[in-house]
Structure 1
Amino acid sequence: MITYDDFTKIEIRTGRVIKAEPFPKARQAAYKLWLDFGDLGIRQSSAQLTRRYQPAELEGRTLLAVTNLPPRQVADFVSEVLVLGAVPEEGDVVLIAPDAVTPPGTRIL
């Protein structure tokens, strides 16, 4: 079990998707995402969202992501943040988003 102090070390922030495109080089079906995190700048992520979402419908959406994990190489792409979602079954991800407008980079506690 983790402590509350452990949990507060995880930086979860709001990010607005500014670009989304297919990622055919990924081992599992995925998209490349570029997200605006306000003062943190633009960060990119590889996200396995292809079952439920199309790239055009992701652009402009505000999502939640962990922003303080180390970068991860996925094929020829560096994924800098972990986009968060619920996984009702394997291969399906339902994105988690705030229910009101928040500025990019807003910290989730």
Structure 2
Amino acid sequence: MSFAADQQFFSRLASASDSFAGSLPSTLARLAQLGAELDPAAPALAANELQAMLHTVAGSAVTFGYRGLGQHARALEQRLRVLMTFDAVAHSDWAIWLGELGQFVEAGRHDPRSLG
């Protein structure tokens, strides 16, 4: 037995999932752009937007069946938060994090459902 409310819920969920999948290429492009713009000497502006975007991707990805993508986004977000808590972070630490962000973006562009 199926209820109209269930059908509406699953219809909205499918629509939201399609919307997430459709916006993923532009989201990944924006993450890459912010990574390229991040200045290790003054990271706050780009880092704040990166953190917010990674947080959103982490939650949405898991919800819509992109578990690995979501877990990777959450790990990047958490490491970014740690970096942002310090007054000074070595350029090499930023370079490592930015390299991981770049790998995440490329893997997400290639096959976001298999990212792990």
TM-score w.r.t. length of structure 2:
0.26
Write 1 or 2 for the structure with the bigger share of strand: 1
Write 1 or 2 for the structure with the bigger share of helix: 2
Q: Which has the higher contact order (CA 8 A, sep 6+)?
A: 1
